[in-house]
A and B are shown apart, each in its own frame.
Chain A
Amino acid sequence: MSLLEVTDLQVEYASPRGAFKAVDGVSFSIERGEIFGLAGESGCGKSTTAFGISRLLRPPARLAGGRVLFDGQELTGMPELAFQAFRWSRMSVVLQSAMNNLNPVMRVGSQLTDVILAHEPGTSARDAWSRAESLLALVELPADRLRSYPHELSGGMRQRVVIAMSLALRPDLIIMDEPTTALDVVTQQGIVRRIVELKKELGFAVLFITHDLPLMLEICDRIGIMYAGKMAEIGRADRLLRGARHPYTQGLLRAFPSLTGPKVRIAGIPGSPPDLVSPPAGCRFQPRCAHAVAACSAAQPAMTAADAGGSVACHLYETEEAGHEPVAASRQR
């Protein structure tokens, strides 16, 4: 049984021009101890998917359908109070720029012990404090930082504090939404390395969301690529790197200038993502796709299994005869 199983997730937004689905039928699963990446460009629904799973959606967004199973337990119908206890203890969330969400007038230590005391009311203050100390040690911060206020810490240190906080109750799954996007690359590398080490030590799974596909390819076990509210492709990171299947994934991979290989002109992806209030007929990527055939504007492609446990939603792979070859991103460069 997978740790997390998301089936046909739908998130609807109300807008003056009519309701639209920011997440439209997204399905994927995360295994224990796995880092699963969710990638895509602005507005593709990757963060909204995470918010839907962790029930952090605020109006005008609402969960419009789908099932979320966590360790066999249905989350979608769970009463709010039960969910509040569940969130953080079994599934925690590190938000984008979470480092700016620390309370500026509370010491780091009080904020960490708050989490522990709120979820485990019987804990003594002394125990909570010593647990907070060991949490800081996990993210490689000295214990005396517990007495610091957030403004006394750098951005990278604050983000480490937030990660420590997410680890406080030893969750099975941590959802990280662009956890290092606001940081410099050297700081990012330190934090990402630590997340992966901790994952190995403590065995939690991570849903890692970022637009930084190269970073994702380096740290994730499997990756889901989203486009316009739908899942375009899911595959193992090494498999995507050697041969992405979906034309959107291929285009996205190409668009990152690499530090290696011949210096050639890179073509972007022509056009722009569709208006979700009135999405194009058939495949949502079809108006921008260089490989589009007649079938693409006729019907939406279903997610179909491909080799190596991957799957892809693209008409080009639905029939054997189409014989569309995956293109190795590395060879294209």
Chain B
Amino acid sequence: MNPLLQVDSVSKVFESGSFLRKKRFTAVNDVSFTLSKGEVLAIVGESGSGKSTLARMIVNLIPATKGRILLEGSEVGSKSRSRKSVARELQMIFQDPFETMNPNHRVHDVVGRPLRLHGATGDIREQVLALLRKVGLTPAEDYIDKYASQLSGGQKQRVMIARALGINPRVLVADEPTSMLDVSIGIDIMNLMLDLKQDYDLALIWITHNLGSARYMSDRMLIMNGGRIVESGDTEAIIAAPRHAYTRTLLEASPDPWRRQELGDAARSPAGTAEFPREE
């Protein structure tokens, strides 16, 4: 079976400086992977690893310098495909819900516009209400006329998910959508995305710096460092037995007292203060 999305030796080189003294920076370096229907793939890396640049290339926000990105065999970003037809299939949720919405736009505008642009017919307001219910903003009537500035971070992120879902995309790329939210709100957004993935039969790319959230969300993951994929495979297998030194470093540095408790003294906390388990 052909994969839904195929990323084939993609690189991104940013250039700066003058014509004669050009500086080149390779943000993404020869990255390849595939994504199947209904799958959740996590891309894990620290700042500067290239994970967000990769996400932007996948949804065709920026062109790749080298390599191809194929959606069901047809190239994203090629001249034969319009931007709009790519947008219809590939949608992105951004990290910062406070910056992605115009504070002077109403929820109705934000969620309704893509519907109209992609030729929705009938009662758009009804469709927006249905989408708001889908993302847990109920009663939807209370939210539809609110301005973006009247919503909390979690509510904004739900609106952004509703906006992305409206046109029935095949692939959703989520770039750290919970990193700006409180954990108890973030976990609800993660659950919502897992549910919607099921309901809409979506493929999901979950971009994160947090290995815990990658484990919670994904079946498979890619670990990126310096623009390259350093390790990829089954999420549980990587966490249980990381092969690449960088993955081990990342895993060791991730605060997780439960894991240290389980591993016992062999993996004492980085500080070496807390000893687990300890009886009074």
Question: Are A and B co-members of a single complex?
Answer: yes
Which residues does A use to contact B, with CB under 8 Å?
Answer: 35, 41-42, 184-186, 188-189, 192-193, 196, 211-215, 217-221, 237-239, 241-242, 251-252, 255-261, 263, 265-269, 272, 307-308, 329-330, 333
Q: Give the interface size class of chain B.
A: 35 or more
Would you call B209 an interface residue if the criterion is a C-beta within 8 Å of the partner chain's C-beta atoms? yes
Choose among B212, B250, B262, B269 the residue that contacts A256 (Cβ–Cβ < 8 A): B212
Contacts of A35 in B (CB 8 A): 273
With known contacts A257-B212, A259-B251, A272-B152, A330–B261 Cβ distance under 8 A = yes
Contacts of A242 in B (CB 8 A): 277
Q: Kindly list the 5 A-B residue pairs having the minimum CB-CB distance in the complex, ordered from nearest.
A: A257-B216, A196-B271, A215-B255, A189-B253, A184-B46
Complex CA gap A242/B276 in Å reads 9
CB distance from A12 to the nearest CB of B (A): 23
With known contacts A189-B270, A217-B274, A252–B280 Cβ distance under 8 A = no
Interface centre among B47, B154, B273 (most CB of A within 10 A): B273
Asked if A259 and B256 sit within 8 Å, CB to CB, the answer is yes
Binds A, one of B19-27, B58-66, B178-186: B178-186
Contacts of B211 in A (CB 8 A): 259
Known: A186-B250, A265-B191. 6 other contacts (CB 8 A): A185-B209, A257-B213, A266-B216, A268-B186, A268-B188, A330-B261
CB distance from B46 to the nearest CB of A (A): 4
- 21 A-B residue pairings within 8 Å (CB atoms): A41-B182, A185-B209, A185-B250, A185-B255, A186-B253, A192-B270, A192-B271, A193-B270, A214-B212, A218-B274, A219-B274, A220-B273, A238-B275, A238-B278, A239-B280, A242-B277, A259-B215, A259-B259, A260-B258, A268-B187, A272-B152
Asked if B184 and A268 sit within 8 Å, CB to CB, the answer is yes
Would you call B139 an interface residue if the criterion is a C-beta within 8 Å of the partner chain's C-beta atoms? no
Choose among A42, A213, A266, A307 the residue that contacts B280 (Cβ–Cβ < 8 A): A307
Complex CA gap A272/B257 in Å reads 26
Tally of A-B Cβ pairs under 8 angstroms: 132
Would you call B249 an interface residue if the criterion is a C-beta within 8 Å of the partner chain's C-beta atoms? yes
Interface centre among B190, B255, B269 (most CB of A within 10 A): B255
Closest residue on chain B to residue A333 by CB atoms:
B258
Q: Which of B154-174 contact A (CB under 8 A)?
A: 154
Which residues does B use to contact A, with CB under 8 Å?
Answer: 46-47, 152, 154, 182-188, 190-191, 209, 211-213, 215-216, 236, 239, 249-262, 269-278, 280
Contacts of A307 in B (CB 8 A): 280
Complex CA gap A215/B260 in Å reads 12
Contacts of B270 in A (CB 8 A): 189, 192-193, 196, 218-219
Asked if B258 and A329 sit within 8 Å, CB to CB, the answer is yes
Asked if B216 and A188 sit within 8 Å, CB to CB, the answer is no
Asked if A257 and B274 sit within 8 Å, CB to CB, the answer is no
CB distance from B225 to the nearest CB of A (A): 10
CB distance from A59 to the nearest CB of B (A): 23
Asked if A42 and B253 sit within 8 Å, CB to CB, the answer is no
Contacts of A219 in B (CB 8 A): 269-271, 273-274
Asked if A221 and B273 sit within 8 Å, CB to CB, the answer is yes
CB distance from B218 to the nearest CB of A (A): 10
Asked if B47 and A184 sit within 8 Å, CB to CB, the answer is yes
Contacts of B259 in A (CB 8 A): 258-260
Closest residue on chain A to residue B49 by CB atoms:
A184
Interface centre among A35, A189, A251 (most CB of B within 10 A): A189
CB distance from A204 to the nearest CB of B (A): 14
CB distance from B277 to the nearest CB of A (A): 7
Contacts of B254 in A (CB 8 A): 185, 259
Closest residue on chain B to residue A239 by CB atoms:
B280
Complex CA gap A49/B260 in Å reads 30
CB distance from A218 to the nearest CB of B (A): 4
CB distance from A285 to the nearest CB of B (A): 12
Asked if B253 and A255 sit within 8 Å, CB to CB, the answer is no
Contacts of A212 in B (CB 8 A): 255
Asked if A193 and B184 sit within 8 Å, CB to CB, the answer is no
Contacts of A252 in B (CB 8 A): 183-184
Closest residue on chain B to residue A251 by CB atoms:
B184
Contacts of B47 in A (CB 8 A): 184
Complex CA gap A143/B269 in Å reads 29
Contacts of A237 in B (CB 8 A): 257, 274
Asked if A218 and B271 sit within 8 Å, CB to CB, the answer is yes
CB distance from B223 to the nearest CB of A (A): 13
Complex CA gap A193/B250 in Å reads 15
Contacts of A267 in B (CB 8 A): 187, 191
Contacts of B46 in A (CB 8 A): 184-186
Closest residue on chain B to residue A186 by CB atoms:
B253
Contacts of B182 in A (CB 8 A): 41-42, 211
Choose among A189, A260, A269, A272 the residue that contacts B262 (Cβ–Cβ < 8 A): A260
Asked if B250 and A268 sit within 8 Å, CB to CB, the answer is no
Contacts of B271 in A (CB 8 A): 192-193, 196, 218-219
Asked if B260 and A258 sit within 8 Å, CB to CB, the answer is no
CB distance from B194 to the nearest CB of A (A): 8
Asked if B187 and A238 sit within 8 Å, CB to CB, the answer is no
Complex CA gap A263/B48 in Å reads 29
